[in-house]
Copies of this chain bind each other. A is one copy, B any other.
Amino acid sequence: MSETPGLRERKKLRTRHALITAAFELFMEKGYEQTTVSEIATAADVSTRTFFSYFASKEDVIFHNSRDGIEHVLRVIAEPRPGDRAIDLLTRAVTSGFSMFALDEQLQREIGPANHLVMTVPSLRARGLLLLFESQRELAEALHRAFPEELSLVEASAVVGAVVGGGKLAAFVSMSNGASPEETLKAGRQAVEFTLSTLRAASSQPS
């Protein structure tokens, strides 16, 4: 594995990085809507058309690393341990996701500005919600696959939707009220753990 990629690949990576960096700098400096794709391309020293061969849309630059989180969680879901109930596995997956995020400072630095943009620009918020929604579908599907007897697909969706939905709204509202990133993360995590724990209680003493 990990052969040194050729010049072509390295250049592509550099261009991609240059586009992302230039885009974020411009977005932060003069606002998302006020920045044109042409300006981004110029700042990254490529043609406008080339921008669109790296990103399908202006929005996509913001979400370029949006799949990292979900894929981490999916890997955990794919490896259930003996004795796990669905709720246990989901708990471990989500907890693992939080701690991965908490440890990765690089990721947090990248996510900070993106977060601010998503919070402020409606079209980006919509896009972010869509991506999160699709991730939830994947997560529900994976959870159902891991415990096909215990949870139907729709039941898994209900559980995943509740856990993620609660965390999402709590975090967002918290941040809207001026909480620091740390407080926001904590609010989201607490909401997730709260929902998980009530679900766990419900599943151990079935009615």
Contacts and interface: CB of A to CB of B under 8 A. Distances in A.
A160 to B, nearest CB: 6
Count of this chain's copies in the oligomeric assembly: 2
Interface string A178-207: 000000000100110011011101100000
Chain A's interface size range is 35 or more
A142 to B, nearest CB: 13
Contacts of A159: 166
A80 interface: no
Given A126-B127, A154-B187, A158-B191, A136 B169 contact: yes
Given A129-B133, A202-B198, A161 B154 contact: no
A107 interface: no
Contacts of A154: 170, 173-174, 177, 187, 191
| Closest 3 pairs between A and B when the two form their complex, measured CB to CB | A165-B165, A161-B169, A162-B166
Given A129-B129, A164-B165, A165-B166, 8 more contacts: A133-B172, A136-B169, A154-B170, A158-B194, A162-B165, A162-B195, A197-B202, A198-B201
